[in-house]
Amino acid sequence: MDMFFAYLMLASATPLFLWLENKKVALSSIPPIILMWIFFGFYMTSSLSPTGHTLMIALFAINVIVAHVAIFILYGLPLIKKYRRH
């Protein structure tokens, strides 16, 4: 759970870093972050069912995927386009 909380803190700052470069990606990462905070609150109050745990892990996975796609869009594609021009 410590790793989940550490990632939650990092993920919460991600839209701030992405805002200047790609607003659509930044805005698309906000709903999963909000849902992860909600599920984390349920987890901390011990009112999370096994289905809730599954959803929390699924949201974590979705957020990790969105973050990796954002990194590829922002940094990988420009690099690929740069090397294809030469």
Domain count, the chain: 1
The dihedral over CA atoms of 54, 35, 1, 45, expressed in degrees to the nearest 10, equals -90
Domain carrying residue 67: 2-85
Q: Is 3 helix (H, G, I), strand (E, B) or coil?
A: helix
Q: Is 64 helix (H, G, I), strand (E, B) or coil?
A: helix
Say how far apart CA 27 and CA 12 lie, in whole Å: 12
Cβ-based neighbour number of residue 4 at 10 Å: 15
Does this model's pTM top 0.85?
Answer: no
- What is the residue-level pLDDT of the chain in tens, covering all 86 positions? 667 777 777 778 878 877 887 788 788 878 878 887 887 787 778 777 888 778 878 877 887 787 788 778 878 888 888 888 86
